[in-house]
Each structure stands twice: as structure tokens, then as C-alpha cells.
Structure 1
Amino acid sequence: MELELSWLPPPSDDWAIAVKKMEQEGASWSDFVALAGARLGFLETERLDRIFGRYFAHDPPRGVAGEPIRLALLGSSTLAHLRSGIRIAAARRGLWASIYEAGYGQYLQESLDESSALYAFRPNAVLIALDARHLAGAVASAANEAEAEAALGETLARLELCWSRLTARLGAAVIQQTLPPVFPHLLGANEHRLAASPARAVARLNAALRARADRSGVSILNLDERAAQDGVRAWCDPALWLRAKQEISPIASPLYGDLVARILAAMQGRSKKCLVLDLDNTLWGGVVGDDGLDGVVLGQGSALGEAYVSVQSYALGLARRGVILAVCSKNDAENAYAPFDRHPEMILQRDHIACFMANWDDKATNLRRIAQELNIGLDSLVFLDDNPFERNLVRKELPQVAVPEIPDDDPALTPQILSDAGYFESLGATDDDRARMAMYRQNRVRAQLQAAATDLPTYLRSLEMELEWRRFDSLGLARTAQLINKTNQFNLRTRRYTEAEAAAVMEDPRAFGLQLRLEDRFGDNGVIAVVIGRLDEEERCVIDTWLMSCRVLGRMVEQATLNIVAEEARRLGATQLVGEYLPTEKNAMVAGLYEKLGFSTLERRADGSALYALTLADFQAREALMRVRRAGE
């Protein structure tokens, strides 16, 4: 049984022809990424990976998205067959990955030895993929509960030592793989009552790994849950373990790689942000414009109606954890709104939708409008539509937009397909995430107020804004790290931090980390900006990181932030602020920020980057039409 990437479209008829041409002639990175975006099996993945090795393996090519990934695999079994799946799944997201595999079973030795090849590789991410037989062995061989508990503690302590060394010495993000349930039961349904049960040991280790990973800032690759969903035999072949010590079957490599790559993408803030929904035969059965409100199939009383309820419920669940919802429908607006306003079985309401496009323009055009209105990139969108024609059109016109394959006759499968695709993979959920739906609703009111205002200062004063700032603290650390790793547009240097690295700023007497929160009379925008400054050898305060959410653009937050940063730099004893702009594919909007704020140019480079300085003795606080206060004052 081969595990399918069911949400991806099957390879086109000319896929093999395009691959053969690429093998012979090479190709651009964008062409390679397009080929990786199909539903590939193990053999197709291996073939594409050979092209990667020939043309792209040594250095990141032009057009790569995000920061190049240097991933180290640390394991206790054979892992070489999994590298192709990871590289191709990363490429599917536009990411470039170089992979180092530690020596067989040498994960602890290499993590502790700073002269090892692991440290020479300098990974920015480490995947610890230990097999169940290795990790659960001591726990499973215990004679009684006390021995089992002691063995469990020793095993977890060894892993935590590995995590802490990798984080502290390499600054790498750590991913810990859970153990697949490969052992047959000895006792049966009440296996948890047998101390010397390998199956019980695996279950206990997986539960403990999750708890300790949460405390250590380590991400989990949930292989146990995925294997239980797909069937353990689909993932793990006992014969392959005996012959080659492969716990994960080669045929599972493409899906395994995708599970890893979506976590790596989330670490770089490259998960999708917005689910765009078609309406007719996607959120309800039937065509509301033809069948009328009474003819819409939705709700209790029919299997099909309940299936559409499950689609809406899943979408609402995504919205409540921070995913933006939008509508893109070929419909008269009045007909499109009718079920939201008047159908008693509708789960989704108008207030849940951040952007509503219902007209007769083509869907690619409306998706562009949605991205523009929400101020997010097209590559942040996932478009859900039951119509194969519309899906194919959007894939052709807007390859940046993710378009999952869903069955056109069984909406009951849609929530699981969206979940399996992992578009919205996240490393955690913060209070700001959960409040995002309300934030976008408030933004609509602000936009209406701005349209009615006669001038910008009048509008900004009418918002009655208050900017609250505080230094990094443990309470806000998760949101701070999340914002650092997901903000791409208003981001001067686009440097990523793990939670541990952000926490280290709190302990550095020659640095400061600031988190800023904006409220106005319509509500709380949450934490919207992060700044990190450090004293260099010349006692200048270098702005290491400055980023801001695009939700608050145009509100003079930049000016207010600079005032705060200047005072914090003076507190450190600096006489000069130094800022740097490093261009990426997404941050052109801040290319001239430092100049607009009165910095002088120190250096312009051929790659478009530049260095700026501001003398603090001459600095006068910039006007910002808001109240600014430090938290607690």
C-alpha cells in the first residue's frame, strides 16, 4: 500500500516528458517546484530528487523561498531513504533543503561532541528520528512498575540533554519524532496494565515526549498519530526492519517528507494564512441562485446536509485558531449572502468572513483582490472549490495559491483532506491567533471610518490609539517567536529566532527585546511589532530585528516605535542607532524605511541591501498620533 498525497493533483500527462527534459537540460527552480507540486509516489520522488542532486544540491538557486534549510537527521535506524521525500516536499513549498545524516545510532555522541561532523554542518534545524525498538527497549524490559518508571525517566533525560545541547550550542530548531506503534499487544485491550509491554512503553514515551517537548520549545513530528490514521503496516514493514533496519518504509517517504517539510515551513512563517471558500456545492449543496434558499442542502435530516455542516464546522475551527476565512464565489452578492443571513443551519456567519467576493468575475481575479484587501501574499491563500475546472484554472493562473483536490460528490471527506494537507501547520496557538477573527472584523469598521474621514491625521486621532510596549518576557515569548518567524513583508532583516534564542535576549545585558501591542477604540490588535537591539563593539546600538504586522500599516506605528527604540538605546549607553535593510522577495515595502525616519545612509550594496545610522544626540521624538506607554505604567 502506497500512502498518497491525496490533496495534490495527479501528475499531468506531460509530467514524465518534462522530467526527462529537465534531466537532460536542467531547468529553473520555479519549473522544478512546479513538478514537485504533483501527487508523487516514491519512485517519482526519487527521480525528481536525482535532478535536485544534479542541479540544485550545492547552493540555493535563484527564486528560493525563505531561508535555506540546513537539516540534520539524527537517528538510530536507517534514514537515508527518507531524505528525498524531505527535499522534494520542501521544494513543493519553494524551500531549499540541504540534509546531513549523522552516523548510524550516533545521535547522542554527535550532539555532545562539538568537533563532530554535525557541528561542522551547522544545521538550523535538527530532526531526531529514533526508532521504537531503540527508545522503548529499556522501558519495555522492566520487571515491574518501579523499574519501568525509572527507565522512562532515564530515557527522557537522555533526550532532553540532546535537545538542550543542540539548542544551546547550535541555535537550531529541534523536531522530535514520536514513535510509531510497531509492537503487537501482549495483554490485549488492557495492555496499559502490563509493565513489561513494548506497546505500553511506546504509548507512555509518546505522551511524555509531548509534555517535555512543550516545556523545552521542541516541535513534535506526530508519527504515532499519523501511523494510527493510515495504518501502521502502511508506514512500517517488519520485514524491512529485519533486512535493512528501516523503521519507516520507503513507500512512506513522500508523505513522511511532507510531514517534516510543513513543520520546517511553519518555523519560517511560511504556512498558509487564509482559507478561501467557494459557496455552491462547497459550503452547501445546490446552487442558491437557481434553487433558492429553500433548495439549499444543509443541516440535519440528510447525510449530505450534515456533510456540509462538517465542512463549515471545520472551517470555523480553523478561524478560531487564527486562520483567516474569505469567500470567492461566482454569484450575485444578494444570493451569496442569503444563506449566511437567513438559513438556520448555517454554521459560518458573515462576521466569520474577513473578505467576501461574490460577483461574476473569474476566480483568479477575485483571489488577487482578496490577497490585496487582506494585505497578504497570494502564497498565503488556500482555495477550496468543488469544481475541477475552477481548481485547474486557478492552479494555472495563480500557481502560488494552494488548491487542494477534493471529491466533487462527497463533502464528508473535505475536512480530513484539508487536515491531511497540512496547509495551516503551526507550532502552537496564541491568544492573538484566537482573536484574529475579531481583529479582521474590527479592521472592516476601521476601513469604513477611514473612507469617511477628510484627512489622515483626523482619521488616526479618531481611532484613539494606545501603543503599549514591554520588554521580552516569558509570558509573551511564544507570540514573540511566532511573530518573528511568520512576518515577511514589514521585516527589515528577516532574521528568524527560536523561542530559546528569543529568551536569550532577555538575559543579555547588552541587548533589549521589545514587544509592542496596539489598541484602539474598536478593539485590541494584539502584539503587532517586535524590535531587538544590541550593542556592538563600538557601543553602537544595532537594530538586529524590526518587524511589524501589516494589519497596522499606515497608522504611524513606525514613528512611535522609533521613539521607544531610541530611548532604550540611550539606556544601554549607545550614542548611535544602526539599522540594516536586507532585501527578500517580500519585504520591498520597507526598503526606504530608515531614510523616511531620518537615518543617514552609511553603505549601499550591489544586492540592494543597505546600512543606515541615526545619531541619538540629534534625535527628536517623532510625532505619532497615539498614546504610548510602557506596560504597567
Structure 2
Amino acid sequence: MEQLAWLPVHDDLGTALSVARRIPDPGERLARAMHLAGFRRDFTATGRLDRLAEVGLAAPPSQLGLVPLRLAILASHTVDHLVPGIRIAGLHRGLALSVHVAPYGSYRQSLLGDDPALAAFAPQLILLALDAQDSPIDLPLDSAESAVEEAVAARIAELRHLWRRAKERFNAQVVQQLLVPASPPIFGSYEAMVPAAPRSLLDRLNAGIRAAAREDGVLLLDLVAQMAGQGPADGLADPVRWHQAKQLVSPTMAPLHGDLVARIAGAVLGRTRKCLVLDLDNTLWGGVIGDDGIEGIKLGQGNPTGEAFLAVQRYAAQLGRRGIILAVCSKNDAAVAEAAFANHPEMALKRGDIAAFLANWNDKAGNLRQIARQLNIGLDALVFADDNPAERDIIRRELPDVAVPELPDDAALYPAWIAAAGYFETAGFTADDAARGRSYAANAARQAVLEQTTDLEGYLRSLEMVLTARPIGPAELPRATQLVNKTNQFNLTTRRYTEAEMQVLAADPDSLALSLRLADRFGDNGLISVVLARPDAALRPGEWLIDTWLMSCRVLGRKVEEATLQVLADYARRQGITALIGEYRPTARNGMVAEHYPRLGFTPMAPLPDRPEGTLVWRYETRGSRPFAHPIALDTT
């Protein structure tokens, strides 16, 4: 696969960059760089894009919607040539990345000793990029298994100490780069049978790193797995580059390396896609269902083409099982298209797997907008897979927020190309994630009942809702962090926190970090809301600032807001808090909650100091306020 093959090819990227360089306004140049970052690019073009965006990235205009993040790279090999690729890949994924590179090989000193530059930078994300040549385990080849295990355990213990220091000093999310084999095996295929052989040791080290990272909440960057098949020697551990400049990653592979780092950064900040929208004809099966009929399409065992499309469906089903919402957008007759899911014996995807199914003759851009509205998600949550290059081009022009991967001519390669694009990179996986697809399907059932009722209050009572509120603990922390970083619409302040920062807030005895789950007779909606409340220097003792209040749009219109405020006020009173202060910080996406606080009975107050322009502030007395009216049972035990 060609590097960044899922991105479209620009007609003349070089000329476009030259024209963009003549734009005088830094903000406009940054916007143009963001657009051009969405095309396939090599090392040279990436460097030019980085220079184009440089001034604008120093203070990106708020209307561009970029999320800032400070990334520090602590490496035992040369990484300076990789930084432009990281920044430009960040732009493509909606991030304004500030990158600090610690001095070569000084990662221990930076974390264990004194590094004023790193401390001043205050990283939110730390990439510990180590290589196999750094502090290798040097044992006699005939060493016993016990000696190898002891040496590997000691090295893992050192890494875990570094991870802990990074979290303690900076509240940063740590990303550990897995070790890349740098020398050929000395025993051939027998290498794995010799515990102290170099490759065998490296495999054990990486296995130990994976296990420790799971326990410690550290993310991993696996260059070998992600760069496989990208070119000669995959651009990794080239001996010539290593001996010349201590470069583990070749400059030619810098654009892909940057994308691998940026997608992890995006996952930490919740900038991952959540819905795969699929075309049907020649995307999920071979042929045109309206012309060929159910019996005439190519799908299933017996011929290579049918097996390739079956593999596409199985991959989509796997994504659905891990929590990616599946939708259909196809120019087709709805009855004919749905009949294929019901009646074709080889269909791996079932109609119940699809949360939104739009098969009609309308333009696909309009249908994608409708899918986003139906699912209560943004267009920037969608990935649209279509075999037709003309349709892909139209969607890219009409809906630039939608991710539209290039697809190869052979359907057998579709899953690999979609996976390689990293749209669904994640920083965690929970039971709530796995249930997300079922939750959206259940929401469709709720909506169907609602459309048939004329008594809204009666409908809400019939749902038999139960809201369960718990302080955020280790079990809730990953999912709560996901919600904080990915929720844009029902989010009063859109403050973002890493998991390490969330953990600090949750552990503070003077604050409240609350997770809320909603269940009803149709099923469990999962963790649907996070509320963070804390003291603030601008407030009086006995008052809490509602630092964060967010809620999944899936539960809008069910009076969950009133129930949540009741829970929050009850917690506050028990802590001796007399007033809750709510802030609304307007963004391009959260206008739906502009009247949230006054609707709940908060009263306006003067702005607090050092707040963003346009911030509105509201006050709620925890004693003597109006009673709450909602049909939701509360579980706060």
C-alpha cells in the first residue's frame, strides 16, 4: 500500500502550495494548509505545508475549530525530522499540536531530574520514543529462562517508573513506543526458541510493555504493525540512516509516522470518528441489487469476488461490535435494499446492525446530513465508504467535515485501507463502547414509540427510566474521559482533560466528579453524562464551579437535565455547598445549550475574571430552590 493511500491525490499540490504561500493573512494560510493536509503528500510537501501553517498555528483562529494539545517527545533516537509530519497530520485531524523535542537521548534526565524547558512547556501528552539499541539487555546466548525473565522484568520496572514520573510531574498522558527490531536474527526461524537471542528478548520486552501499559493506563505506538507493507524495509531501522544520523524512522516515512502519532493524540482528545456509513452496490456486495436481484449479486463463499465482499461485511460487523455505529447511504430502492439483508443467505451484516438506513434516490450529501441528524451526531463523526470515485469527490466538496477514504479497485483491499486510515483510533475500550451500536438501535425503537404518542409526559413515564449517579472511579474513568473529550454539542464549557488530569479531579476530596448512566425498558443507554464541580479562586468559600457539564445527545428531551441537577444539588448540600455556579462558553457547536442554566432556574450573575470572551455565568442556590419535576427514578447509593 502506498503511504497515506487513503487520502485523495491533488491535481497539482506543488502549485497549490506555491499559491498559498502568497496569502498574507496567517489565519487564511492556516486554513489553506488544513485543506491541503487532506491530500496525499510526501516528505517534501509535508515540510512545505508545515512552513505554510507555522505562523497561524502559533495562535490558530477559533473559527477553524482546532483543538490545541502540547506534545513532548522524549526519544533515544533522532526525531526532529518527524515533527513537521506530526503537526500537519494533526491539522488534518483537527488538532493544533505544539511539539517540544527534548535533547537527544536525555529522556531519563528529563523525567527523573530537572528539565526547565520541559517543565515550562507543561506537556499534556508525552511520547516516550525509545529504540532497541538504547540500553539493550546483554545476556549470554545460553542464559537460562529465569535470567531472561529477571532482566526483562527489571527493564519493564524502569519504564514503569518513568511513566509514573511523567504522570506525577505533568499530569500527562504517556504514549510508549514499542521497540523496533534493529538487527537481523542470528538463529533464523529458530530465534524464538532461544530465550536470550536478540529478537526473542525484544519480543519479550514488547510483550512486557504491553502488559504493563494496560495496567498503568499508558498508550502504545506500534510502528512495526502500522508501517508494515509501506515500502522498502518499511522505512524503519534502516542501518544506513541509523549510522548516518541515528534516525529510526526514515524521512520518506515521516508523513505516515506523523499520522500515527496524530491519530493517537486525536483519540486522547476524543477527535475520533464514531460512525461508518456504507454504500451498498459494489461496496457491501458485488453488482447492483436493483438490476441483478438478490440471487444475482456477488456475496459469499464460492468465488473470489463474493468472498472479498463477505470479508468487507465481516470487518464492518467487527467494527460494530467494538462500538462503531453502522449506517447505510445508498442510491437504491429501500424495499429492495432491505430485502437483501433479510433474505440473502450469505449476508454477514444484518439489518439490526444498521442504526440508520437511507436507501433512496436523493443526493448522498443530503442523506448524510439526515443520518447525522437522525443519530444526533456531528458530520465530523462520519466516515463514508463508497466505491464510486465521483460520489467520493462530491461528498468531499459538499461535506468537508465527513471523512471519505479513497478505496482501491479491488474490494478485497477495502478493510485494510479503511483500517490503515486510523479513523477509529481509540484511547480506551469499555463495555459501554461495545454496547454503543445496540444503544443507537434501541434509540430508534424509542423514537418509533414517541412518533406514535400524543402524550409526551405519558411517554416519558412509560420508559421507566432510572438514572444511576456515581463518583467517577477507576471503572468509569476511561469512558468518562472519552465523553469529556468528544462531546461537543451538549457541553457547557468544552473543557478537555486527559485521563491523568481527570483522575486528579476525581481524587480531589473538595471537588465532585460525577458519572451518570441511564437505563429504561428498551435497554441501558450506558454512561450518558459527566459533571465536574470544584472550588474556584474567583468564588467564595462554600461555592462550587460547575467546571464541566456534558450529556449524550441520545437522551435529549427526556428531562435528564432536571434529574442530573437534582443529583448534583443533593451531593453539593451534603458537602456544605450553598451555591452552584454554572458557566456557558459558546462555541460553534454548543449553541443548543445556550439557555440550559436559565431553563433550570439559575439566575444570571456578573462575569468571572480571566474567562474567555462571551462566557455567561449563572448561579443556583442549593437551598430553597424550586422542586424538580421529572419522571426519572434516581439511584445514588
> Which residue, 605, 610, 613 being the options, matches 1:607?
613
Shift of 1:565: 0.4
Greater Cα offset, 20-29 or 256-265: 20-29
Question: In structure 2, what is the equivalent of residue 204 of structure 1?
Answer: 204
Question: In structure 2, what is the equivalent of residue 505 of structure 1?
Answer: 505
Trace 1:482-497 onto structure 2 (pairs within 5 A). 482-497=482-497
Shift of 1:7: 0.6
- Aligned partners of 1:30 and 1:115: how far apart in 2? 34
- Aligned partners of 2:333 and 2:140: how far apart in 1? 64
Deviations 1:242-280 (A, max 9, x none): 010001111110000001111111111110111111000
TM-score w.r.t. structure 2 length? 0.95
Decide whether aligned partners of structure 1 residues 419 and 139 sit closer, same or farther in structure 2, where only a CA change above 3 A counts: farther
Trace 1:35-184 onto structure 2 (pairs within 5 A). 35-53=36-54, 55-138=55-138, 144-184=144-184
Aligned length: 627
Question: In structure 2, what is the equivalent of residue 555 of structure 1?
Answer: 558
Decide whether aligned partners of structure 1 residues 377 and 490 sit closer, same or farther in structure 2, where only a CA change above 3 A counts: same
Q: Does 1:566 align with 2:564?
A: no
Shift of 1:231: 6.5
Matched-pair contact (CA < 8 Å) for 2:67–2:94 = no
Shift of 1:194: 2.7
> Which residue, 575, 598, 601 being the options, matches 1:598?
601
Shift of 1:140: 8.3
- Aligned partners of 1:397 and 1:34: how far apart in 2? 13
Matched-pair contact (CA < 8 Å) for 2:472–2:514 = yes
- Aligned partners of 1:195 and 1:152: how far apart in 2? 11
Question: In structure 2, what is the equivalent of residue 626 of structure 1?
Answer: 632
- Aligned partners of 2:118 and 2:279: how far apart in 1? 48
Decide whether aligned partners of structure 1 residues 112 and 601 sit closer, same or farther in structure 2, where only a CA change above 3 A counts: farther
| DSSP-derived class of the 1:545 partner | strand
Shift of 1:203: 1.1
Matched-pair contact (CA < 8 Å) for 2:543–2:579 = yes
Deviations 1:190-215 (A, max 9, x none): 21233442222221111111111111
Decide whether aligned partners of structure 1 residues 189 and 177 sit closer, same or farther in structure 2, where only a CA change above 3 A counts: same
Decide whether aligned partners of structure 1 residues 602 and 267 sit closer, same or farther in structure 2, where only a CA change above 3 A counts: same
Shift of 1:506: 4.0
Q: Does 1:247 align with 2:245?
A: no
- Aligned partners of 1:491 and 1:140: how far apart in 2? 58
- Aligned partners of 2:567 and 2:90: how far apart in 1? 39
Q: Which amino acid aligns with 1:460?
A: L
Decide whether aligned partners of structure 1 residues 364 and 144 sit closer, same or farther in structure 2, where only a CA change above 3 A counts: same
Greater Cα offset, 105-114 or 260-269: 105-114
Shift of 1:163: 1.1
Greater Cα offset, 367-376 or 161-170: 161-170
Q: Which amino acid aligns with 1:385?
A: D
Question: In structure 2, what is the equivalent of residue 575 of structure 1?
Answer: 578
Matched-pair contact (CA < 8 Å) for 2:80–2:101 = yes
Identity of aligned residues (%): 49
- Aligned partners of 2:384 and 2:417: how far apart in 1? 13
Question: In structure 1, what is the equivalent of residue 529 of structure 2?
Answer: 529
Deviation >6 Å, runs of 4+: 139-142
| DSSP-derived class of the 2:247 partner | coil
Shift of 1:486: 2.0
- Aligned partners of 2:435 and 2:270: how far apart in 1? 18
Matched-pair contact (CA < 8 Å) for 2:37–2:92 = yes
Q: Which amino acid aligns with 1:16?
A: G
Question: In structure 1, what is the equivalent of residue 259 of structure 2?
Answer: 258
Deviations 1:454-480 (A, max 9, x none): 132122112111111112222222222
Decide whether aligned partners of structure 1 residues 142 and 42 sit closer, same or farther in structure 2, where only a CA change above 3 A counts: farther
Shift of 1:534: 1.7
Q: Which amino acid aligns with 1:492?
A: L
Deviations 1:274-309 (A, max 9, x none): 111100011011111111112111111110000000
Structure 1: stretches of 5+ with no match in the other structure: none
* Root-mean-square deviation over aligned CA pairs: 1.9
Deviations 1:577-607 (A, max 9, x none): 1111222332221122111111112235773
- Aligned partners of 2:139 and 2:450: how far apart in 1? 64
Question: In structure 1, what is the equivalent of residue 7 of structure 2?
Answer: 8
- Aligned partners of 1:323 and 1:426: how far apart in 2? 11
Decide whether aligned partners of structure 1 residues 121 and 454 sit closer, same or farther in structure 2, where only a CA change above 3 A counts: same
- Aligned partners of 1:404 and 1:227: how far apart in 2? 18
Question: In structure 2, what is the equivalent of residue 24 of structure 1?
Answer: 22
Question: In structure 2, what is the equivalent of residue 616 of structure 1?
Answer: 622
- Aligned partners of 1:376 and 1:456: how far apart in 2? 23
Trace 1:422-571 onto structure 2 (pairs within 5 A). 422-536=422-536, 538-571=541-574
| DSSP-derived class of the 2:188 partner | coil
Shift of 1:545: 1.7
| DSSP-derived class of the 1:612 partner | strand
Question: In structure 1, what is the equivalent of residue 283 of structure 2?
Answer: 282
Question: In structure 1, what is the equivalent of residue 369 of structure 2?
Answer: 368
Decide whether aligned partners of structure 1 residues 227 and 8 sit closer, same or farther in structure 2, where only a CA change above 3 A counts: closer
Q: Which amino acid aligns with 2:632?
A: M
Matched-pair contact (CA < 8 Å) for 2:330–2:364 = yes
- Aligned partners of 1:545 and 1:553: how far apart in 2? 17
- Aligned partners of 1:187 and 1:19: how far apart in 2? 50
- Aligned partners of 1:374 and 1:329: how far apart in 2? 17
Matched-pair contact (CA < 8 Å) for 1:535–1:574 = no
